[in-house]
Amino acid sequence: MYDAALMTAHRILAMICGQPPEAIEVAHGDYLGWFEEAMGPRVSLTPWDVRNRVNEPTIGDFAGMVITGAPSSLTKPESWMEHAIELIRQAAETGMPVLGVCFGHQLIGCAFGAPTTPVPGEGEHGTHSISLNESGKNDPLFAGMSDSFLAHLTHYDEVDPTAVSYSNGLRVLAQSSECAVQALAAGDNIRSVQYHPEFSTTLMQRYLDEHDTGKAALECGEASLVFKNWIDHWIVNKAS
């Protein structure tokens, strides 16, 4: 069984599910670097690319797991995606804390029976308002945060809101005007967000410019507090 007290202090497995477009990676680095900067020095991230399954880690060796975004889509399944879903289920069985972001959020939905579906229209890109529901307002992931806050997003898919229910252990925590499932809780230890708390405003602007949207990214520092809250509640508290 998972026991945070026995883990190397705050050592987190980073499940890497993809990489940025080449021009963005050259200018701004890779997913791991973004997460390391946003999550800060209290955790040490060990990256593992789930797509190639080389040197697969033992999840029980870590205090928690974060799951990155990806340009891939669960509406176009690849073999590695099912393995990623199975690892999430293993983590759930052992009580391991997990935090998924964007594609990682959608993987968590799929792991608990809520499939991914395309967002109507052109998807959601840029800085948007996220609204917490009553469940979200009372969840440790959003402790100390406003009921409504700005966040950076770029996605074409979403967790199917019609498939989220207490019967499969999922709770919606937040939504936006274009996406009904901006954050999920799966039991006590698994959380996910559709938006990108690891994005800086500069990085969001680069994505918008790459897609020639004509939009301007806005400052939204509050959105990244989910990392602090996740570390405080699920990593530090469990290890003490």
Cα angle at 13 between 195 and 113, to 5 degrees?
55
Q: Hey, what's the torsion of the CAs at 109, 114, 119, 123, to 10 degrees?
A: 0
Beta-strand pair 98-101/190-193: parallel
Amino acid at 141: L
**Catalytic residue list:** 102, 196, 198
**For residue 181, what are the domain limits?**
4-239
116, 159 in Cβ contact below 8 A?
yes
Residue 63's CATH number: 3.40.50.880
Q: How many domains does the chain have?
A: 1
Q: Which whole-number Å values give the CA distances from 239 to 7, 41, 62, 97, 109, in the listed order?
A: 8, 16, 11, 11, 27
Q: Report pLDDT for 53.
A: 84
167, 187 in Cβ contact below 8 A?
no
CA–CA gap between residue 17 and residue 4 (Å, rounded): 25
Q: pTM for this structure?
A: 0.94
pLDDT, tens digit only, all 240 positions of the chain: 455 444 445 999 999 999 999 999 999 999 999 999 999 999 999 999 999 988 999 999 999 999 999 999 999 999 999 999 999 999 999 999 999 999 999 999 999 999 999 998 889 999 999 999 999 999 999 999 999 999 999 999 999 999 999 889 999 999 999 999 999 999 999 999 999 999 999 999 999 999 888 999 999 989 999 999 999 999 998 876
